Amino acid sequence: MSADTKQNTITIDGQEIPFLAGQTIMDAALAAGVYIPHLCHRQGLTPHGSCKLCVVDADNRSVSACTMPAVAGQRISNNTPALNEVRKTITQMLFIEGNHICPSCEKCGDCTLQAMAYHLGMLDGHFPQFFQRRKVDASHPTIMLDRDRCILCELCVRASREVDGKNVFAIAGRGINAHLIVNSASGKLVDSDLETSDMAAHICPVGAILIKEHGYEVPIGQRTFDLHQVSEIGLEKTILTKARQPDE
């Protein structure tokens, strides 16, 4: 191998992967069809680094693949039992912190968090449940906000700010009190510019932002993750299209 090609590759689990200058480990991996588990990352939006599911070992340091730039010659471990165990623990923490009662959730079967838990073989929450009391915002005529299920991934915050140009959402509060707020004077969704056609209204990977009167429309067996694995590359497009046109 020439020195030139070697400068532009990283190694993930022994597989050599090319990258362009400026790409993160996640960008390079996804472009090469290598799955690194993630919840808060979405191609086209600024990386966030909150979910920590994409933790990988790069040259024996734990880093977030979504924010860490790819550097020529980097040797990365990704799909290892130890890392997947860490990821399972993180997923369990997300489940016990919120009120994730899948049997009564409209997003069940279409939820990336749930699919991630399946992918990692999660059988229980392991930790004591927080049972937090969080506010529902049903003020908007067509969109509702159930904070019980919010994982603070900020996908809606970023989609609204960077794609829709409306800046509807933000995260407020510190530590365990951090929660999703609406940037309107009243703090209510109804007083924001959010519309059903906005990316921010559809991008939620869990059941926190829901389009009203569109629950339970897809038969069991035909929901996104009945048909797909969360580890399929490029699934985001399928999910987003399906969220916009649930009948198709």
Which residues of the shown chain bind other proteins in the complex (CB under 8 A)?
95-96, 99-105, 108-109, 114, 117-119, 121, 123-125, 128-129, 131, 133, 220
In the complex with other proteins, the residue whose CB is nearer, 199 or 210, is 210
Residue 243's DSSP bridge partners are: none
Which one, 117 or 201, has the nearer CB to other proteins? 117
**Nearer residue to other proteins within complex by CB, 61 or 131:** 131
CB-based contacts of 15: which residues, under 8 Å, 6+ apart?
32, 34
CA end-to-end distance (rounded Å), the chain:
48
Pairing of strands 75-77, 9-12: parallel
Name every residue whose Cβ is closer than 8 Å to that of residue 219 and which is 6 or more positions away in sequence: none
Among 68, 70, 131, CA closest to 95? 131
CB-nearer residue toward other proteins: 151 or 194? 151
| Whole-angstrom distance, CA of residue 39 vs CA of residue 44 | 14
Query: Least distance (Å) from other proteins to the CB of residue 103?
Result: 4
Q: Please report how close the Cβ of residue 98 comes to other proteins at its closest, in angstroms.
A: 11
3-state secondary structure of 6: helix
Of 148 and 154, which CB lies nearer to other proteins in the complex structure?
Answer: 148
β-pairing verdict for 61-64 and 55-58: antiparallel
Least Å from the CB of residue 205 to other proteins: 16
Shortest Cβ 217–other proteins spacing (Å): 15
Shortest Å, Cβ 63 to other proteins: 28
In the complex with other proteins, the residue whose CB is nearer, 47 or 207, is: 207
Write phi, then psi, for 180 (nearest 5 degrees): -75, 130
Residue 189 Cβ vs other proteins, minimum distance, rounded to whole Å: 20
Helix H or strand E encompassing 206: none
